[in-house]
Amino acid sequence: MTPVLNEPLSQLSLLFVSASMGFLALALMVFSFELAQLVKTEGATKVITKGERVGFILLWVATIILGTGVVLRGIAAGRVPWANMYEFAISTAFLMLLIYLTAMSIKDLKFIATFISGFALVILFASVSLFYVEVKTLMPALQSYWLVIHVVVAVLATGFFSIAAGLHIAYLVKAGNLAKRLMNVFPTLEQLERLAYRFNVVGFVLWSFTLIAGAIWAERAWHRYWGWDTKEVWTFIIWVLYAGYLHAMATRGWSGKRAAWLGLIAFLSVIFNFTIVNLFFKGLHVYSGL
């Protein structure tokens, strides 16, 4: 009946998550150094340099260690490891890294490796230092298989949106003629825009799904499928903003910089939804555990 929590195992999980941060920091340093090196070379290079290879090995190691930490956390709690803010954050960081590394094998995305490793490091740092809570059993409201579906899809969507956000930033820096020499080695504006679009499209489909799954769950748990709870409001706002981004991409004069800004604002809303709304807004989704 009552699941047994494994405290030592959750400590081990924390150790893995922390170790992963070390490797991420190393990867971040290597990638930054390589970017600095690239500035000195003339023209874009498609081949992956030795240094970059080291960076990606470090990133893979960080991802595998983090994945182990996430899985151990799940075993320690006897359930899926995304039932509070800390767990959601480490799961998001892990899946984002996994999506990025998988996408790397299909498409050359090495130029945002610095952003990805840096962002993952920030997420993990925030989760370990600000959001950390001991393993807890689930409150009855969260005991539902919808926790598995609704949240994992939200985590995945966040992963895709994060990568797109990195591409938006690269686009805006390049389009703004900043860091010119560095940006010369980046893909063209058009390529950056298209890549961002693809990640956002997948993210948007997943986000739509998580919205529907959340509504189905809300109907079971709170007897209404939609009640404008603060979290529901922000899920809606994010959905509408990304819908706006997709429309912008199809509107003459709105693709390019404006669409990139819109995509970035939408992503900031995702971050806002996860941090500020969780911590400071009153609502039914009080699962942050803090």
Cα 157 to Cα 155: distance, rounded to the nearest angstrom? 5
Q: From 23-31, 114-122, 135-143, 163-171, give the range in contact with another protein by CB under 8 A.
A: 135-143
Size of the site for another protein (CB under 8 A): 59
Q: Does 247 contact another protein by CB under 8 A?
A: yes
Q: Does 215 contact another protein by CB under 8 A?
A: yes
Of these, 125, 225, 256, 261, which contacts another protein (CB under 8 A)? 225
Of these, 64, 254, 256, 257, which contacts another protein (CB under 8 A)? 254
Choose among 276, 234, 235, 241: nearest CA to 261. Answer: 241
Q: Does 148 contact another protein by CB under 8 A?
A: no
Q: Does 212 contact another protein by CB under 8 A?
A: yes
Q: Does 8 contact another protein by CB under 8 A?
A: no
**Cα three-residue angle 107-174-50, rounded to 5 degrees:** 45
Q: Does 282 contact another protein by CB under 8 A?
A: yes
Closer of 52 and 193 to another protein (Cβ): 193
Q: Going by C-beta distance under 8 Å and a sequence separation of 6 or more, which residues neighbour residue 114?
A: 28, 31, 32, 35
| Residue 103: CB atoms within 10 Å | 17
Helix (H) or strand (E) holding 53: helix 50-77
91-110 footprint of another protein as x/- string (CB under 8 A): ----------------x---
Closer of 138 and 175 to another protein (Cβ): 138
Cα atoms in the 13 Å half-sphere on the side-chain side of 6: 14
At closest approach, how far in Å is the CB of 5 from another protein?
A: 4
Per-residue H/E/C for 120-133: HHHHHHHHHHCCCC
Which residues ranging from 40 to 79 are in contact with another protein (CB under 8 A)?
none
Question: Which residue's structure tokens are 């001991």?
Answer: 134
* Structural contact between residues 44 and 191, judged by C-beta atoms closer than 8 angstroms: no
Cα 100 to Cα 114: distance, rounded to the nearest angstrom? 12
Q: Does 275 contact another protein by CB under 8 A?
A: no
Where along the sequence are the contacts to another protein (CB under 8 A)?
1-2, 4-5, 7, 107, 134-137, 139-141, 143-144, 194, 197-198, 201, 204-205, 208-209, 212, 215-216, 219-230, 233-234, 236-237, 240-241, 243-244, 246-248, 250-251, 253-254, 262, 277, 281-284
